[in-house]
Chain A
């Protein structure tokens, strides 16, 4: 799913109680919503709870949506606010054990799985790096669009994105990665 492909008419139809529009909206955005929540909260259970609350909020707040061509940014803002509310209220788990086993078992092997890469991202990246890399990977949003959502300069987003990927490459390849990671 590319964020730019999300049709904002779905939200307008949801505002009128269109269940099919909600289903389509869910199908197109569920991974993005969950991934973004996971990148902030680092916990599967918390991310799922926020995902649930976010879709409820989106459906019930669809009437307040003003078409501006950025439906994904609207949804991600809902997710971000819910996550930070949750963090502020202290209602979060602090473990990332869910993916720990996969990564540990892979460390001794020459290969690495998707799940282990996700685990590494959750483990070694800081909060902003996780969010930026996740949004870039899952939504296909451009750096400047991510910058708008994250409310930070585009240059900072780019910088953090590049730094995050360099850290990931270093961790996953075990050789520092620079000068090699991008090559076949």
Chain B
């Protein structure tokens, strides 16, 4: 074959190599048979019984190719020549079929088999690729306009699915959808055969990761095997999203820890959904890399903002947990910690670092205990939320401005996601492990000691009398309200004002150390 240089693709290269090797392969069958003293008309049976059984097992293959070897041997035609003859016959048949198609005007002959699996690729463009059992592309469909734009410039039918996926993500890079900062690819595979579907998902995920790494992008591949049902299909259809995205939204809404509604998640980009998915370990497939979070303020800043809003110092906080969450269609840090026998929960805007919501101060309940979680949930359920932000009647009574009060629960639940989650902080403030890959040097564990040196704060600074009267002084009056930390701080008493001042000092020194 001859190709125009400007049309060279990966598919052409691999096909061309195969054709060139096929054409240049020497035919040495005859000499081999002679050297091996193989009788061309007889089959030696060293072990008659077992050979018969094996021959029986071999029958399907033999039946398919039975005629050619026998005839070729009788007529003195080598195996390779016979193979080429079969190839000629096939090509002739294909030509005949093509002529019939042209003459009759019927649809083109489809050399791919029936649909075997559907591979979804979501970045922002959404594309679904249907493949046959040989992993060849039967068709590709766009889920949205961006996907249509990508597909309009591609021809991936009949390609191997890995090559097709490479081409799709390469086009997404070219068009600026997939970049260093927007680096997430949601890969979703669905198939009637779950084992095979999972195998395909794993293979494509590996391949895509290798391909993107070679393209100087540190990708976040979030693989999932999707089990569809009518409800999922309807949800995807109603909202014009891919089945894969619908599946991820379902998995996230199933997360008790997250407590978000599907409507809230629909407003998120693929990058943000993948971020939440990875943070909550809801993947049902193979994942590589972490979503880029450099545009967010970072987990340590979120914690500082929350502490500032609570009027606490870092060393006051125990069982600190910071995870990504979602509120009103935006990514937030859900910050939870214990302090002074109370549980605190905050949502901090991930982009601005402003405290959007804080709630759930439950005296005498540990965030680590199941009982604590239960009491926390009961307390939250009993809340009489008020969007006007009126003061709480007492420190176990709260208002809320949204239905996302469960977000605060992130600080109350035992973590089972491992330290690899990108936005998670667990443990005491003194030894917080910050795993945010995009945090700059000067992470929390190191900062705290530095800050202590600067401010002179020591753990347990609050005196016992204050702890005996949590409702008056030590436990800040915490309300659920939207707004920034300044608004929250205005509500604190003088003791808290002092702490707030200290927290601001901490915040400042932390940012300085970040710089």
Contact = CB atoms under 8 A, between A and B. Distances in A.
B69 interface: yes
A11 B491 CA distance: 83
Q: Interface size bucket, A side?
A: 35 or more
Nearest to B53: A12
Most buried by B among A20, A137, A158, A177: A20
Interface string B45-77: 111001100110110011001000110010000
A181 B2 contact: no
A46 B79 CA distance: 22
B256 interface: no
B17 A134 contact: yes
A7 B55 CA distance: 12
A111 interface: yes
Nearest to B26: A48
A133 B14 contact: yes
B47 A16 contact: yes
A62 to B, nearest CB: 11
Contact of A169 (B8, B51, B61, B214): B8
25 contacts: A7-B61, A12-B54, A13-B58, A16-B54, A21-B58, A22-B32, A24-B61, A26-B80, A34-B24, A110-B6, A111-B5, A112-B4, A113-B2, A115-B20, A117-B13, A118-B24, A136-B14, A137-B18, A138-B17, A138-B18, A144-B203, A182-B10, A182-B167, A182-B171, A183-B153
B26 A17 contact: no
A161 B498 CA distance: 62
Given A9-B57, A137-B14, 18 more contacts: A2-B134, A16-B44, A17-B46, A19-B44, A20-B69, A26-B29, A38-B21, A59-B36, A112-B5, A113-B2, A114-B20, A118-B17, A143-B206, A162-B211, A168-B8, A169-B13, A179-B173, A182-B171
B17 A159 contact: no
| Dominant SS among interface residues on chain A | helix
Interface string A151-184: 0001100110111011011001110011101111
Interface of B: 1-10, 13-29, 31-33, 35-36, 38-40, 42-47, 50-51, 54-55, 57-58, 61-62, 65, 69-70, 73, 79-80, 82-83, 134, 153-155, 162-163, 166-167, 170-171, 173-174, 203, 206-207, 209-211, 213-215
Contact of B2 (A111, A158, A161, A177): A111
Interface of B, secondary structure class, is helix
A117 B16 contact: yes
A121 interface: yes
Interface of A: 2, 7, 9-10, 12-13, 15-24, 26-27, 30-31, 34-35, 38, 44, 48, 51-52, 55-56, 59-60, 109-115, 117-118, 121, 133-134, 136-138, 142-144, 154-155, 158-159, 161-163, 165-166, 168-169, 172-174, 177-179, 181-184
